[in-house]
Structure 1
Amino acid sequence: MQRWDRIEAFVEVVRLGTFAAAARQLKVSNSHVSRLVSQLENQLGTTLLYRTTRQIRLTDAGALYYEHCHHLFDGFREAEAAINDLQARPRGVLKLTSATTFGERFIAPLINDFLCLHPQLDVRMHFTNRQVDIIDEGYDIAIRMGALKDSTLIARRICERREYLVASPEYFTRNPQPHSLAELSHHRCLVGSRDHWRFDVEGVRREIRVEGAWQANSGPALLDAALKGLGLAQLPDYYIEEHLARGELVSVLDAYHHSDTAVWAVYPRHRHRSPKVRQFIDYLVTHIGEVLPAPQETRPS
């Protein structure tokens, strides 16, 4: 069986250029390194190095053997670095941005819990519905909703997110429930931060432009208007689950719900090995279900 210490000695001699440098790297004597290389040559039945008083040169066999072996030790070093990085405590400043309501209700409590576990970490949270350029503005992580645009950023799915078309029972006492997308033009639509609603029609994404006498760039305001019977609204599940369960809202056109609206943690590629980024995202994925409203299997109609 080949001895790893012999191979390592050979690789270090070639990589560093001298037996003395390899001995210093391995923290052994020059003679010990020389003996290990000789043992390896005897084991293989071939000469790997030409030795002179001034330099060493690889034989053809030595060059071939080095080409196959040095990658192994590069992999070992990377594996050790990965383990050390995994065990490293997150330090420095964690700078994060998220959509306002989702960030305030669900992300902030988890950040605070994470900070209790890692008090050596500093945190900067910024909640905004503006699309932030996280690289130019120096953020470590952005929490984003829905289908992501192509970019050089790395994205990790945090949880599912579905949007529902809802209105209050009181609204439906005055207006019939819609059974097709075409019927939406006959309803009072409450417009949020975007002027189109998203649906899936037989697996194809479709966007319908909506207009109405009521509009606001605020999810809570949109929810309040829907609860008060002012019209139909398209809202994500975390706004409405509790109201659906209590019968305060009714979900319609369920067959057309747009499903490609997950919640993502997005971060620059050069941050992917940072302990603070990796460990916080792992924490989010593990614990986000503890703060989100429980989904309702049966929805009032």
Structure 2
Amino acid sequence: MKQWSGISEFVAVSEHGSFTEAGRALNISVAQVSRNIAELESRLGLKLLYRSTRKVSLTEEGKIYLVHCRHLVESLEQANQVLSSRKETPRGLLKITAPVYYGETQLAPLISEFLSMHPDVELDLHLTNRKLDLIQGGFDLAIRLGQLESSSLIARKLSSRSQHIVTAPHWIEQHGEPVTITDLRANQCLRGSVNYWRLQDANGNPIQFKPQGRVHCNSGPFLREAALQGLGLVQLPDYYVRNDLKAGRLVSVLSAFQAANEGIWAVYPQNRHLSAKVRHLVDFLQQTLNR
């Protein structure tokens, strides 16, 4: 890399006709400009500039060298501008992983909107409920729900979710409404992939309740449908049951024991210079998930 030293200074002095003006343009000292050009001439074994107290002029060799060096400096400036543009404008491939149902129902319309806004962005979206290794898989970003495990990844909170225990109105009519956590033990609970329900006591202390019942399934949509059919009670995140609660197809019970909200997170590898595509998407999701 030493062979490049002094070229920018030589071009700047040639164009400005002054070591002082060249230093000002490059934001370095006059002494550094002079030293770097002297080292360049020493490496080349040729004199490039005539120096006097009044002006600076090019030697014959300096004029020839300037033609080629000017192209080098212009190409470097263009390369810097391209990277600077990429830093500000989202472009390139975005490789993302997210949970299946949340990705299909909550992220899909938002990411599609983001892609419409940024036509230079490509998408590779992996929907899975497994927590993939971002580094090994080459992922730019992961969407994670709930409590995060300790890791070296950077996590930024996008929004939050609440957990609701719900059932069909006719279940309540037939079996009565549970008013304490103990009452749950006498009810049919629809069990999911997590072995416990997150609740809290009257003092706000977290409680893990292990549900019992004849239905077990690792699919949230199936458990929602089972609840709609009056097969029992189920705990599901708000985005599963929000519309059903508004329409009265499901009712929420034990609201006083509802656990504190959980985070919805954007997680990405540590990178001192976060790319524009990731930065803009995270900002966009944070804004739109909370509108």
Whether 1:124 aligns to 2:135 is: no
Spell out the pairing of 1:202-221 with structure 2 (5 A cutoff).
Answer: 202-221=203-222
Q: Which residue of 2 aligns with 1:270?
A: 271
Q: Which residue of 2 aligns with 1:172?
A: 172
Aligned length: 238
SS at match of 1:199: strand
Distance 1:95 1:22, change over 3 A: closer
Q: Which residue of 1 aligns with 2:49?
A: none
Shift, 1:205, TM fit: 2.0
Coordinate RMSD, CA, aligned: 3.2
User: Structure 2 CA distance, aligned partners of 1:87 and 1:22?
Assistant: 24
Spell out the pairing of 1:113-152 with structure 2 (5 A cutoff).
Answer: 113-152=113-152
Specify the code of the residue in structure 1 equivalent to 2:142: A
SS at match of 2:139: coil
Specify the code of the residue in structure 2 equivalent to 1:204: N
User: Structure 1 CA distance, aligned partners of 2:107 and 2:211?
Assistant: 30
Whether 1:279 aligns to 2:280 is: yes
User: Structure 2 CA distance, aligned partners of 1:179 and 1:25?
Assistant: 82
User: Structure 2 CA distance, aligned partners of 1:190 and 1:26?
Assistant: 75
Q: Which moved more, 1:263-272 or 1:136-145?
A: 263-272
User: Structure 2 CA distance, aligned partners of 1:219 and 1:249?
Assistant: 15
Q: Is the CA contact (8 Å cut-off) linking 1:98 and 1:144 kept in structure 2? A: yes
Q: Deviations over 1:158-180 (max 9, x none)?
A: 11200001111111112121111
Spell out the pairing of 1:70-89 with structure 2 (5 A cutoff).
Answer: 84=84, 88-89=88-89
Q: Is the CA contact (8 Å cut-off) linking 1:168 and 1:250 kept in structure 2? A: yes
SS at match of 1:136: helix
Specify the code of the residue in structure 1 equivalent to 2:20: H
Q: Is the CA contact (8 Å cut-off) linking 1:23 and 1:33 kept in structure 2? A: no
Shift, 1:87, TM fit: 5.9
Q: Looking at CA atoms only, which structure, 1 or 2, has the larger radius of gyration? A: 2
Q: Is the CA contact (8 Å cut-off) linking 2:163 and 2:261 kept in structure 1? A: no
Q: Is the CA contact (8 Å cut-off) linking 1:271 and 1:277 kept in structure 2? A: no
Spell out the pairing of 1:1-301 with structure 2 (5 A cutoff).
Answer: 23-24=9-10, 31-32=19-20, 84=84, 88-201=88-201, 202-270=203-271, 273-289=274-290
Q: Which runs of 5+ in 2 are unaligned?
A: 25-30, 40-79
User: Structure 1 CA distance, aligned partners of 2:22 and 2:262?
Assistant: 62
SS at match of 2:206: strand
Q: Is the CA contact (8 Å cut-off) linking 2:165 and 2:254 kept in structure 1? A: yes
Q: Is the CA contact (8 Å cut-off) linking 2:9 and 2:22 kept in structure 1? A: no
SS at match of 2:135: coil
Distance 1:29 1:180, change over 3 A: farther
Shift, 1:35, TM fit: 9.5
Q: Identity, % of aligned pairs?
A: 37
Shift, 1:145, TM fit: 0.8
Distance 1:259 1:24, change over 3 A: farther
Specify the code of the residue in structure 1 equivalent to 2:262: T
SS at match of 2:207: strand
Q: Is the CA contact (8 Å cut-off) linking 2:87 and 2:275 kept in structure 1? A: no
User: Structure 2 CA distance, aligned partners of 1:31 and 1:289?
Assistant: 56
Alignment TM-score, normalising by the size of structure 2: 0.71
Alignment TM-score, normalising by the size of structure 1: 0.69
User: Structure 2 CA distance, aligned partners of 1:173 and 1:34?
Assistant: 86
SS at match of 2:261: coil
After TM superposition, what 4+ stretches of structure 1 lie above 6 angstroms from structure 2?
Answer: 33-36
User: Structure 1 CA distance, aligned partners of 2:248 and 2:286?
Assistant: 30
User: Structure 2 CA distance, aligned partners of 1:161 and 1:198?
Assistant: 13
User: Structure 1 CA distance, aligned partners of 2:281 and 2:177?
Assistant: 43
Q: Deviations over 1:14-42 (max 9, x none)?
A: xx9xxx68945976566417998xxxxxx
